[in-house]
């Protein structure tokens, strides 16, 4: 048997079922590896005591015959999910010391399925960023390095700690959240599989809100099958989230072995953006060849409003963020900075508690929602958003899924793209349109770029059709035949 930390989730469940390893042994192996690779800064809070206790309970359940679908599998949780009694920070100073007295629906479903919590992973503050450089707890390092270049690379964001941990084998899988690409882009940067399900598939209850009409939880894993296994446990209707879909959860794992023969895969002309990096174009062409080899038919489609997706997103997301983050006032939880009166206490607390990018987005959001500007900005953005969603509806009359690159580049070095905010925002050019339309999307490793870094391919599906997304993702994974492991991990 290979090293316990190299096992996929599917391998782990098999090894546990055979009795080849116990949940306690599996957990101990991961806790030891977490300590070795603490330099990556992937975790904000490690929870070894809780992990050991949960692993012991899992082994006891197995003895008694009560085995859940993820029984004994250790997992990492993005520190945007509230976990009962465990520090939950959203990587912000303003949530100093916050220990929720309740558990998010998604994480509690994972524990009900038998999983074990290793800790809480780092992220961009309030999930706002594409590099994990905005965390109050410091940047996260990507375990991958460019060939012959020792500079530290970003893991992407905002679920950067989750992606770094899974790539570095200090968790076999982790939860993420995706508002404009925050699961898919870090998965691409770290050579992993990242799945953002349809808006409404996973409950948002207990996930710290950034932009409520866009936020969705999903898994980051090393294989497509593991992604299906995790999402199977995370998804499902929850009466505590009024936007959660009252639909049965299909068999995602079975969908991974479906044939894609005869499927029509849309290739959107508008994603061939000006100045696209040659290695990204080459990756996309390779992806098209791979789906053709698997028996699917690539078809040209048009998504005419693609270029307006990012500016639309940067009105909608900050507007919702400024409303959601109004709750951080120093009264009920987290940081409080005193002032001479109540208003000054609010202002001092929020001024000290929020980092630069969060402040910027609160200000933009407040501005576009302020009297006299609402129609010109927010209403206009919601109208363009309707056109973007309509583009996808029209495209899906001609195809069953859409194939694009996940990100316009491979992982970049820490400090790059920091000159102005808009340069950083452009990272999400291929992921934001499907977020605005609420559609499911997966990023699967497609190949390595010129400097040896992994690159991701994205598959977008119809609303609530994660099954086709998994089927196409699995076909790409099989055809690419990559075995990705960063050196030294």
Decide if residue 181 touches other proteins (CB under 8 A).
Answer: no
Two tokens at 183?
């699961």
Q: Which of 2, 64, 262, 343 binds other proteins (CB under 8 A)?
A: 343
Decide if residue 15 touches other proteins (CB under 8 A).
Answer: no
Decide if residue 248 touches other proteins (CB under 8 A).
Answer: no
Residues 323-342 that bind other proteins (CB under 8 A): 326, 329-336, 338-342
Decide if residue 351 touches other proteins (CB under 8 A).
Answer: yes
Q: What φ, ψ does residue 447 adopt, rounded to 5°? A: 170, -175
Decide if residue 38 touches other proteins (CB under 8 A).
Answer: no
Q: Is the peptide bond before 287 cis (omega within 30 degrees of 0)?
A: no
- Residue 284's alpha-carbon distances to 13, 297, 412, 416, 456, in angstroms, are 34, 15, 19, 24, 9
Q: Which of 314, 412, 430, 470 binds other proteins (CB under 8 A)?
A: 314
Decide if residue 345 touches other proteins (CB under 8 A).
Answer: yes
Closer Cβ to other proteins, 335 or 401, answer by number: 335
The β-bridge relationship of strands 264-268 and 401-405 is: parallel
The β-bridge relationship of strands 116-121 and 74-78 is: parallel
**Pattern of binders to other proteins over 397-436, x per CB under 8 A?**
-----------------------xxx-------------x
Please name the residue that has the structure tokens 């990012």.
Answer: 310
Catalytic site positions: 78, 158, 182
Decide if residue 180 touches other proteins (CB under 8 A).
Answer: no
Closer Cβ to other proteins, 225 or 336, answer by number: 336
Smallest gap from residue 131 Cβ to other proteins (A): 17
Please name the residue that has the structure tokens 């609160």.
Answer: 362
Q: What φ, ψ does residue 191 adopt, rounded to 5°? A: 70, 40
Decide if residue 207 touches other proteins (CB under 8 A).
Answer: no
Decide if residue 289 touches other proteins (CB under 8 A).
Answer: no
Q: Which of 101, 148, 397, 488 binds other proteins (CB under 8 A)?
A: 101
Smallest gap from residue 408 Cβ to other proteins (A): 16
Closer Cβ to other proteins, 269 or 331, answer by number: 331
Task: Give the residue from 40, 214, 34 showing the smallest Cα distance to 135.
Answer: 40
Q: Which of 315, 455, 471, 480 binds other proteins (CB under 8 A)?
A: 315
Residues 291-310 that bind other proteins (CB under 8 A): 305, 307-308
Instruction: With beta carbons less than 8 A apart as the criterion, state whether 435 and 313 touch.
Output: yes
Closer Cβ to other proteins, 281 or 393, answer by number: 393
Instruction: With beta carbons less than 8 A apart as the criterion, state whether 132 and 42 touch.
Output: no
User: Cα separation of 313 and 426, whole Å?
Assistant: 11
Instruction: With beta carbons less than 8 A apart as the criterion, state whether 294 and 261 touch.
Output: yes
Closer Cβ to other proteins, 62 or 336, answer by number: 336
Q: Is 423 helix (H, G, I), strand (E, B) or coil?
A: helix
**Pattern of binders to other proteins over 70-99, x per CB under 8 A?**
---------------------------xxx
Smallest gap from residue 359 Cβ to other proteins (A): 6
Instruction: With beta carbons less than 8 A apart as the criterion, state whether 297 and 289 touch.
Output: no
Smallest gap from residue 210 Cβ to other proteins (A): 15
The β-bridge relationship of strands 441-448 and 454-461 is: antiparallel
Q: Which of 364, 448, 459, 469 binds other proteins (CB under 8 A)?
A: 364
Residues 118-157 that bind other proteins (CB under 8 A): none
Q: Which of 102, 269, 281, 293 binds other proteins (CB under 8 A)?
A: 102
Number of neighbouring beta carbons within 10 Å of residue 274? 5
Contacting residues for 323 by C-beta, under 8 A, at least 6 apart: 365, 369
User: Cα separation of 166 and 272, whole Å?
Assistant: 30
Decide if residue 366 touches other proteins (CB under 8 A).
Answer: yes
User: Cα separation of 308 and 436, whole Å?
Assistant: 11
């Amino acid at each position: 048997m290979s090293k316990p930390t190299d096992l996929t989730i599917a391998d782990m469940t098999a090894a546990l079922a055979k009795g080849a390893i116990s949940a306690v042994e599996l957990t101990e192996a991961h806790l030891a590896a977490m300590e070795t690779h603490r330099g990556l800064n992937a975790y904000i809070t490690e929870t070894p005591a809780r992990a050991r206790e949960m692993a012991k309970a899992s082994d006891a359940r197995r003895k008694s015959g009560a085995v859940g679908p993820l029984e004994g599998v250790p997992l990492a949780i993005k520190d945007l999910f509230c976990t009962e009694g465990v520090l939950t920070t959203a990587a912000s100073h303003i949530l100093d010391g916050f220990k929720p007295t309740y558990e998010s629906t998604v994480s509690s479903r994972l524990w009900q399925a038998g999983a074990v919590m290793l800790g809480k992973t780092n992220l961009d503050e309030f999930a706002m960023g594409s590099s994990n450089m905005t965390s109050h707890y410091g940047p996260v390092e990507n375990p991958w390095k460019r060939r012959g270049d020792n500079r530290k690379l970003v893991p992407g964001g905002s679920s950067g700690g989750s992606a770094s941990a899974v790539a570095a084998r200090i968790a076999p899988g982790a939860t993420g959240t995706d508002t404009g690409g925050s699961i898919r882009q870090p998965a691409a940067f770290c050579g992993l599989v990242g799945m953002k399900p349809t808006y409404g598939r996973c409950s948002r209850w207990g996930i710290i809100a950034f932009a409520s009409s866009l936020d969705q939880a999903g898994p980051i894993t090393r294989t497509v099958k593991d992604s299906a296994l995790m999402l199977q446990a995370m998804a499902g209707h929850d009466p505590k989230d009024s936007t959660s879909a009252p639909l049965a959860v299909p068999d995602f794992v079975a969908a991974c072995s479906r044939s894609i023969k005869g499927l029509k895969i849309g290739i959107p002309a508008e994603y061939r953006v000006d100045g696209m990096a040659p290695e990204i174009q080459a990756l996309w062409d390779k992806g098209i060849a791979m789906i053709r080899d698997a028996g699917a038919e690539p078809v040209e489609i048009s998504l005419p409003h693609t270029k307006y997706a990012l500016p639309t997103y940067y009105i909608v997301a900050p507007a919702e963020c400024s409303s959601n983050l109004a709750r951080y006032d120093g009264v009920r939880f987290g940081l409080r900075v005193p002032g001479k009166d109540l208003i000054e206490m609010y202002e001092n607390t929020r001024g000290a508690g929020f980092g630069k990018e969060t402040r910027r987005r609160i200000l933009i959001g407040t501005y576009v929602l302020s009297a006299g500007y609402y129609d010109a900005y927010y209403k206009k953005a919601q109208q363009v958003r309707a056109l973007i969603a309509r583009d996808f509806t029209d495209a899906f009359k001609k195809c069953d899924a859409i194939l694009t690159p996940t990100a316009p580049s491979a992982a970049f070095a820490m400090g790059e793209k920091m000159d102005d905010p808009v340069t950083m925002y452009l990272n999400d050019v291929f992921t934001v349109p499907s977020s605005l339309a609420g559609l499911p999307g997966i990023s699967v490793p497609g190949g390595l770029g010129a400097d040896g870094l992994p690159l991701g391919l994205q598959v977008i599906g119809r609303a609530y059709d994660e099954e086709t997304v998994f089927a196409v993702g699995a076909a790409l994974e099989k055809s690419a035949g990559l075995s990705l492991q960063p050196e030294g991990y």
